[in-house]
């Protein structure tokens, strides 16, 4: 089995490192944050990701998985070097490649001549060349291998991908990288780097488009008196449409869709194409934040100035503790701007959380406590456990039993029977 170095121990890097060690490879996983590396060396995984703790502990026990701050030392042994560093949104909407360039510049001099650098970060077309230049190593091929895992099911998605995409000019390098995924029952697509990079952006943009589409249909449903849940069910029976990624909600967010959709608009623009469709998708998403904010304000009686609003859910979706670009927080900030006093609960976000965006929002560790004296409860993240709470107790705690369920999570009939005013998304 091969020696692998993984640069970046975040959602993608740590998952890649842990899964590759589980598959029997010797892996060194590197990060620049000393506290993160110290915790990982103790088997303490800093993110909530199903199955990841077990794999990290297994890797440490078998001594196949190592954590390090020393990128040069890690790559000096490696046959394959994965780049899994951030590519955040730059000031002009394009992807900021500085992390990836810095990482490549740092490791370049220490790579073995037979090494292959595999880029898993999401990068604009042409970035494989940028990495090659930053490495300064004409003898080391760079291969694009975009990652399609979702947070919350990262380990499952890595081990059971829908496809593996390898973009390479060097066929020999592509075959060697393909060998890393031989055990996985997934279609393998070998293509050129520009196509691989475009596949990643196109996939995320298409998924975001589906969600904006269903949120727009939900608005139509409200206007015409239809029920979006039934509409989606009926659409989904058509195999050409399918029912995945058609759950209406507060808008899409997270660390990738927002930055990647904007980056694709920019990539297209720079290449002379005005991607109006995708701009519309982004606009619909922004409008969805405002629509949900308006629903909450209306339910609270037309104004939230000085009034208590309870919120359930701060993460950008359930089964993750990631709050980056969370629609929930965006909506709470809009409510704050209208004067609301907010108490929020999220099963994955502790009261002690240090997050500037939550500075003027009270975070509590109990869902009932969040509801105390609230005029309205906003359900913003689809945590399953919220469905099974004692809604009589919730009603007693609130100033008035009113719910805006931005995820269509709760059982409407149960709530109405208990005296709640209930409002979902796309349902009259
Ligand atoms: P992340 O922020 O969770 O982790 C990135 C890690 O890289 C951090 O721990 C950071 O400290 C580290 N890092 C930064 N510079 C470094 C350097 N020079 N050397 C070593 N480590 C360094 O990011 P992520 O969510 O894992 O995303 C990484 C890339 O993968 C991005 O391009 C993202 O778009 C893409 N991606 C993310 C997901 C996801 O679900 N999060 C899925 C697919 C693709
Ligand atoms: C997404 C993609 O699903 C992954 O394939 C991709 O690898 C990843 O981005 C990435 O490039 O980082 P992720 O951001 O983890 O994964 O989360 P998703 O499950 O896609 O959800 C994104 C947002 O859309 C969340 O806010 C979620 O609540 C929302 N969503 C999703 C809906 O509102 N409705 C749906 O039907 C699905």
Tell me which of 19, 84, 256, 371 is the catalytic residue: 256
**CATH tag, 3-190:** 3.40.50.720
What ligand has the least distance to the C-alpha of 207? Answer: 2
The pLDDT, as a whole number, for residue 183 is: 85
Could you identify the atom of ligand 2 that is nearest to the CA of residue 247? 36
The pLDDT, as a whole number, for residue 354 is: 86
Q: Please tell me the residue having the least CA distance from ligand 1 atom 44.
A: 147
Using a 6 Å cutoff on CB, does residue 315 contact ligand 2?
A: no
Query: Which residues have CB under 8 Å from 390's CB, separation 6+?
Result: 368
Please report where in the chains the tokens 């390090």 appear, as a residue: 68
Q: Write the DSSP string, 343-409.
A: EEEBTTB-TT---GGGTTSEEES-HHHHTTT-SEEEE-S--GGGGGS-HHHHHHHSSS-EEEETT--
Q: Please tell me the residue having the least CA distance from ligand 2 atom 18.
A: 150
Torsion angle, alpha carbons of 346, 349, 353, 358, to 10:
-40
The pLDDT, as a whole number, for residue 12 is: 98
Using a 6 Å cutoff on CB, does residue 151 contact ligand 2?
A: yes
Per-residue pLDDT tens digits of the chain, which is 428 residues long: 679 999 999 999 999 999 999 999 999 999 999 999 999 999 999 999 999 999 999 999 999 999 999 999 999 999 999 999 999 999 888 899 999 999 999 999 999 999 999 999 999 999 999 999 999 999 999 999 999 999 999 999 999 999 999 999 999 999 999 999 998 999 999 999 999 999 999 999 999 999 999 999 999 999 999 999 999 999 999 999 999 999 999 999 999 999 999 999 999 999 999 999 999 999 999 999 999 999 999 999 999 999 999 999 999 999 999 999 999 999 999 999 999 999 999 999 999 888 899 999 999 999 999 999 999 999 999 999 999 999 999 999 999 999 999 999 999 999 999 999 999 999 98
Q: How far is CA 105 from CA 68, 100, 231, in A?
A: 18, 9, 52
The pLDDT, as a whole number, for residue 237 is: 97
What ligand has the least distance to the C-alpha of 145? Answer: 1
29 a catalytic residue: no
Question: Ligand 2 center to residue 257 CA distance, Å?
Answer: 7
The pLDDT, as a whole number, for residue 353 is: 86
Which of 16, 236, 242, 316 to mutate for ligand 2's pocket (most ligand atoms within 8 Å of CB)?
A: 316
Could you identify the atom of ligand 1 that is nearest to the CA of residue 85? 7
The pLDDT, as a whole number, for residue 31 is: 98
The pLDDT, as a whole number, for residue 53 is: 98
Question: Ligand 2 center to residue 150 CA distance, Å?
Answer: 6
Q: Please tell me the residue having the least CA distance from ligand 1 atom 34.
A: 122
Using a 6 Å cutoff on CB, does residue 316 contact ligand 2?
A: yes
Could you identify the atom of ligand 1 that is nearest to the CA of residue 95? 32
The pLDDT, as a whole number, for residue 2 is: 74
Q: Where in the chain is the domain with CATH 3.40.50.720?
A: 3-190, 192-428
Check: CB of residue 323 under 8 Å from CB of residue 289. Answer: no
Ligand 1 pocket, Cβ-based, cut-off 6 angstroms: 7-13, 30-33, 36, 71, 84-87, 99, 102-103, 121-122, 147, 149, 151, 255-256
Please report where in the chains the tokens 């993984």 appear, as a residue: 6
Q: How far apart are the first and last CA of the chain?
A: 58
Q: Given CA atoms 407, 411, 415, 417 in this order, what sign does their dihedral have?
A: positive
Using a 6 Å cutoff on CB, does residue 347 contact ligand 2?
A: no
Which of 6, 7, 8, 17 to mutate for ligand 1's pocket (most ligand atoms within 8 Å of CB)?
A: 8
Q: Which CATH class, in words, describes the domain spanning 192-428?
A: alpha beta
Which of 155, 236, 257 to mutate for ligand 2's pocket (most ligand atoms within 8 Å of CB)?
A: 257
pTM over 0.75: yes
Question: How far is 386 from 19, CA to CA, in rounded Å?
Answer: 31
Using a 6 Å cutoff on CB, does residue 150 contact ligand 2?
A: yes
Question: Ligand 1 center to residue 102 CA distance, Å?
Answer: 13
Maximum Cα–Cα distance for the chain, whole Å? 71
The pLDDT, as a whole number, for residue 428 is: 80
Q: 6: phi > 0 → left, psi -120 to 50 → alpha, else beta; which?
A: beta
């Amino acid at each position: 089995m091969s020696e692998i170095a993984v640069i970046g121990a975040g959602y993608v890097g740590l998952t890649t490192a842990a899964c590759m060690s589980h598959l029997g490879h010797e892996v060194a996983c590197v990060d620049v944050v000393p506290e993160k590396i110290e915790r990982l060396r103790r088997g303490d995984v800093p993110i909530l990701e199903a199955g990841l703790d077990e794999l990290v502990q297994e890797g440490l026990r078998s001594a196949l998985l190592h954590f390090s701050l020393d990128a040069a030392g890690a790559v000096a042994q490696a046959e394959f070097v994965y780049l899994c560093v951030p590519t955040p949104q730059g000031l002009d909407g394009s992807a900021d490649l500085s992390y990836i360039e810095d990482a490549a510049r740092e490791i370049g001099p220490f790579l073995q001549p037979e090494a292959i650098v595999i880029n898993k970060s999401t990068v604009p077309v042409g970035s494989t060349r940028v990495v090659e230049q930053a490495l300064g190593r004409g003898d080391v091929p760079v291969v694009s291998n975009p990652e399609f895992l979702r947070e919350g099911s990262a380990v499952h998605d890595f081990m059971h991908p829908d496809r593996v995409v390898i973009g390479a000019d060097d066929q020999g390098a592509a075959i060697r990288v393909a060998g890393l995924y031989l055990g996985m029952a997934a279609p393998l697509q070998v293509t050129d780097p520009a196509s691989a990079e475009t596949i990643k952006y196109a996939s995320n943009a298409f998924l975001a488009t589906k969600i904006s589409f269903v949120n727009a249909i939900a608005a139509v449903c409200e206007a015409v008196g239809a029920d979006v849940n039934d509409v989606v069910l009926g659409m989904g029976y058509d195999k050409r449409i399918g029912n995945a990624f058609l759950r209406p909600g507060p808008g899409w967010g997270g660390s990738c869709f927002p930055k990647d959709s904007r980056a694709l608009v920019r990539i297209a623009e720079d290449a002379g194409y005005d991607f109006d469709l995708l701009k519309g998708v982004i606009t619909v998403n922004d409008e969805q934040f405002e629509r949900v904010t308006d629903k909450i304000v209306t339910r609270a009686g037309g104004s939230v100035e000085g009034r208590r609003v309870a919120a359930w859910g701060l993460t950008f979706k359930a089964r993750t503790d990631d709050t980056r670009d969370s629609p929930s927080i965006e909506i709470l900030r809009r409510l704050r701007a209208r004067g609301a006093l907010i108490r929020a609960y999220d099963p994955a976000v502790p009261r002690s959380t240090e997050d500037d965006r939550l500075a003027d929002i009270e975070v509590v560790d109990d869902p009932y406590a969040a509801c105390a004296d609230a005029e309205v409860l906003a359900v913003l993240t689809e945590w399953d456990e919220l469905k099974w709470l004692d809604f009589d107790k919730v009603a007693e705690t609130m100033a008035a039993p009113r719910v805006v369920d931005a995820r269509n999570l709760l059982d409407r009939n149960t709530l109405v029977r208990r005296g709640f005013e209930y409002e979902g998304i796309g349902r009259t």
